[in-house]
């Protein structure tokens, strides 16, 4: 059987309270009662009435205040409130409506009018509850879809970043078959960016963009790129073009990582003293990402094996970098590089060359053989 509709009646006068209770019960409603504002607030929560009949003059909090509080609570905002009072003046009526009352009845109560008002308000409440239900449903649906969209976007972004990483690797493949150079130098770039105070977002962009700094090597012939021994002036001029070719390959994108990659490709061989290429930019004319990439690339190239020369040891390369501070390199980045050198070594160890790894393995096995 359906539960009878419950009405909360709030009145500090026991006679009025009993009168309203009798009328409402005769009409088939269930009645909850409160004699103070505080009790009214409590019972509105616990009894969950369909309508509240509220007296204005209560011993503790006024009916106006109670009405305002009830209407401010999300779960009670659709419960209709009928102000039932002896105050029949225009000002009180307006105030009642202003604080959110849905109806205003002046005592003595007309039984028929009360019945009609209650019935109307119950219809309004049922409609409002229905709308609230739809709103909640829509909100839940929108949240679910938003979450799905965010997850899909994240996956897409990851796939995108992976593709650009692999593009960088493809470019390096001819002279760095294992791809470890870009693994190391992109991490060097990121921690250098962190050390000089760039934001997390910028560090992430630098990490993802730096593997593409030499993508322009795609356009350099094998005879020059893989030449064992020094390049002639003419060959070196062709080699320099990998900066411009790289920037052209990466140009025109709206994605911040690709925009940064374009700048890195173009400027990673510029020098602080203006003697670099392709444009001979000087000092702070060289974008920060280009300066960072230049140093990280130089260190890793020198400490890696090449077809035409063995790897230099760290100490030797550090000497060169120190000497080149303010000439080849930005002094600020050189300082940061020395400050984080233990971390640089960690990365170097984690992503060491396959050649270095196999040499180490041979050394280890020889050592074991000696024991
Ligand atoms: Fe390069």
- Cα of 239 to ligand 1 centre, how many Å? 9
Q: Is the pLDDT of residue 336 over 80?
A: yes
- Cα of 225 to ligand 1 centre, how many Å? 11
Q: Is the pLDDT of residue 172 over 90?
A: no
Residue 76: closest CA among 104, 51, 103, 39? 51
Mean pLDDT of 336-342: 97
On average, the pLDDT of the chain sits at 88
- List helix spans (H) across the chain: 14-26, 37-46, 63-72, 90-98, 111-172, 180-195, 200-209, 222-225, 233-250, 256-267, 288-302, 314-323, 331-339, 341-350, 354-370
| DSSP bridge partners of 105 | 84
Q: What is the pLDDT of residues 351-365, one digit of tens each?
A: 876 555 554 454 455
More confident residue, 43 or 363: 43
pLDDT of residue 308: 66
CA–CA distance, 102 with 97 (Å, rounded to integer): 7
Mean pLDDT of 4-29: 91
- Cα of 132 to ligand 1 centre, how many Å? 62
Mean pLDDT of 188-210: 95
- Cα of 319 to ligand 1 centre, how many Å? 21
Q: Is the pLDDT of residue 335 over 60?
A: yes
- Cα of 265 to ligand 1 centre, how many Å? 7
- Cα of 10 to ligand 1 centre, how many Å? 82
CA–CA distance, 198 with 196 (Å, rounded to integer): 6
Query: What is the separation of C-alpha 271 from the centre of its chain, rounded to a whole number of angstroms?
Result: 36
Q: Is the pLDDT of residue 269 over 50?
A: yes
pLDDT of residue 250: 92
Asked whether the beta carbons of 57 and 85 are under 8 A apart, the reply is yes
Strand order in the sheet with 6-10: 30-34, 6-10, 51-54, 81-85, 103-106
Q: Which two tokens stand for residue 71?
A: 């209407």
- Cα of 267 to ligand 1 centre, how many Å? 9
pLDDT of residue 363: 47
Q: What is the pLDDT of residues 280-303, one digit of tens each?
A: 999 999 999 999 999 999 999 999
At 83, give phi and psi (nearest 5°): -80, 120
pLDDT of residue 371: 46
> Which three-class secondary structure state does DSSP give residue 169?
helix
Mean pLDDT of 339-360: 78
* 226 pLDDT tier (thresholds 50, 70, 90): confident
pLDDT of residue 321: 97
Question: Over the range 70-96, which residues count as b (16 or more CB within 10 Å of their CB) and which as e?
Answer: bbeeeebebbbbbbbbebeeeebbebb
More confident residue, 327 or 113: 327
* 1 pLDDT tier (thresholds 50, 70, 90): low
CA–CA distance, 337 with 296 (Å, rounded to integer): 9
Q: Which two tokens stand for residue 341?
A: 């050198």
Q: Is the pLDDT of residue 74 over 80?
A: yes
Taken as a whole, the chain contains a residue count of: 371
Q: Is the pLDDT of residue 325 over 70?
A: yes
Q: Percent of the chain scored above 70 by pLDDT?
A: 92
Q: What is the pLDDT of residues 46-63, one digit of tens each?
A: 999 999 999 998 999 999
- Cα of 170 to ligand 1 centre, how many Å? 14
Burial class of residue 231 in the structure, from the number of CB atoms within 10 Å of its CB (0-12 exposed, 13-18 middle, 19+ buried) = middle
CA distances, 284 to each of 189, 302, 333 (Å): 18, 25, 12
- Cα of 212 to ligand 1 centre, how many Å? 10
Contacts 24+ apart (CB under 8 A), 120-126: 121/51, 121/80, 121/82, 122/5, 122/50, 122/51, 122/80, 124/80, 125/50, 125/51, 125/78, 125/79, 125/80
pLDDT of residue 300: 93
More confident residue, 99 or 172: 99
* Residues in CB range of 154: below 8 A, 6 or more apart: none
* 89 pLDDT tier (thresholds 50, 70, 90): confident
pLDDT of residue 357: 52
Q: What is the pLDDT of residues 94-150, one digit of tens each?
A: 888 888 899 888 888 888 888 898 899 989 888 888 888 899 899 999 999 999 999
- Cα of 268 to ligand 1 centre, how many Å? 6
Q: Is the pLDDT of residue 42 over 50?
A: yes
Catalogue all structural domains in the chain, each as residue range(s) with its CATH number: 6-136 (3.40.50.2300), 173-370 (1.10.3210.10)
Q: Is the pLDDT of residue 210 over 90?
A: yes
């Amino acid at each position: 059987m359906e539960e009878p509709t419950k009405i909360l009646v709030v009145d500090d006068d026991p006679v009025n309270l009993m009168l309203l209770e009798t009328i409402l019960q005769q009409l088939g409603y269930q009645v909850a009662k409160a004699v103070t504002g505080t009790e009214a607030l409590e019972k509105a929560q616990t009894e969950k009435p369909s309508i509240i009949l509220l007296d204005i003059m209560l011993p503790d909090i006024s009916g106006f205040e109670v009405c305002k509080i009830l209407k401010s609570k999300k779960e009670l905002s659709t419960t209709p409130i009928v102000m039932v009072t002896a105050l029949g003046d225009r000002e009180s009526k307006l105030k009642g409506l202003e604080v959110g009352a849905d109806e205003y009845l002046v005592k003595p109560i007309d039984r028929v009018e009360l019945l009609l008002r209650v019935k109307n308000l119950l219809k309004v409440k049922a409609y409002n509850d229905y709308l609230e239900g739809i709103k909640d449903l829509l909100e839940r649906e929108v949240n679910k879809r938003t979450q799905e969209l965010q997850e899909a976007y994240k996956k897409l972004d990851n796939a995108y970043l992976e593709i650009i990483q692999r593009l960088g690797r493809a470019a390096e493949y001819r002279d760095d078959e294992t791809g470890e150079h870009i693994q190391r130098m992109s991490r060097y770039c990121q921690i250098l960016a962190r050390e000089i105070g760039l934001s997390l977002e910028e560090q992430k962009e630098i990490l993802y963009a730096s593997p593409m700094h030499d993508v322009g090597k795609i356009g350099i012939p094998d005879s020059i790129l893989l030449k064992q021994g020094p390049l002639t002036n003419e060959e070196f001029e062709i080699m320099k073009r990998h900066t411009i070719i790289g920037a052209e390959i990466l140009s025109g994108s709206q994605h911040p990582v690709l925009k940064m990659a374009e700048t890195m490709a173009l400027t990673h061989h510029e020098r602080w003293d203006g003697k670099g290429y392709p444009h001979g930019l000087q000092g702070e004319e060289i974008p920060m990402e280009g300066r960072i990439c230049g140093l990280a690339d130089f260190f890793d190239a020198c400490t890696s094996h090449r077809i035409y020369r063995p790897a230099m040891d760290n100490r030797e390369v550090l000497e060169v970098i120190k000497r080149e501070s303010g000439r080849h390199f930005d002094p600020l980045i050189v300082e940061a590089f020395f400050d984080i050198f233990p971390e640089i070594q960690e990365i170097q160890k984690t992503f060491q060359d396959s050649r270095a790894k196999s040499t180490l393995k041979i050394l280890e096995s020889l050592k074991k053989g000696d024991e």
